[in-house]
Chain A
């Protein structure tokens, strides 16, 4: 199975900051990586697919990059509504697996 490792597991940032979350796959997955946002008590929301393509309706402050084993989600100009937990997931092969999540908190 492909293991997905996210770092950091949590971070504190201020409104207006730019933050980066990394996701590493235990073997190459091409660009078959998605990112999701989840707020407390809510269902996840899809943000990015194919490592860098924005889902419809997702603001351009979210961006993704990477290929192979190393990926990054960058969030620019953090706003109160961006404070949430973010997950990566590969969909290269079965079983699909998620990273452990990164909680973005207000400093």
Chain B
């Protein structure tokens, strides 16, 4: 059974940093692209970043809203995904979800989601 468990959320001041983790199990972690998606309170879903798999050299992609401030990384030895968030702004307040993807032709889509972790950026 696929399980994704996020941790590391909490209250942080504007300009601060936070590192989220996602512990994965139930699948061969290194084979899959992994995503981070967030949802501000009362708002819709926003894709924010992706790390590719081993075959594609673990390269990353980001949404413009977080590029240069957030970094997606992974530790395949620990089946873990990370989101390092720097220079946090109040508008980064959201529930952050990690998500597993599956390959279809040359594209990868989300098939499983974690339960999410809340990040609050406030003074």
Contacts and interface: CB of A to CB of B under 8 A. Distances in A.
B102 A44 contact: no
Interface string B107-121: 111111111100000
Interface of B is mostly: strand
A45 B2 CA distance: 13
B31 interface: no
B91 interface: no
Contact of A50 (B47, B109, B110, B113): B109
Interface in A52-107: 55, 87, 89, 91-92, 94-101
Interface residues of A, number: 24
Contact of B109 (A32, A45, A97): A32
Contacts of B104: 32, 49-50
A44 B45 contact: yes
Contacts of A96: 35, 47, 50
Interface in A1-53: 1, 32, 34, 36, 38, 43-46, 49-50
30 contacts: A32-B109, A36-B110, A43-B114, A43-B115, A44-B45, A44-B97, A44-B113, A46-B109, A46-B111, A46-B113, A49-B109, A50-B109, A89-B45, A89-B110, A91-B108, A91-B109, A91-B110, A94-B50, A94-B61, A95-B47, A95-B61, A95-B63, A95-B64, A96-B35, A96-B47, A97-B47, A98-B44, A98-B46, A98-B47, A99-B44
Interface of B: 35, 37, 44-47, 50, 61-64, 97, 102, 104, 107-116
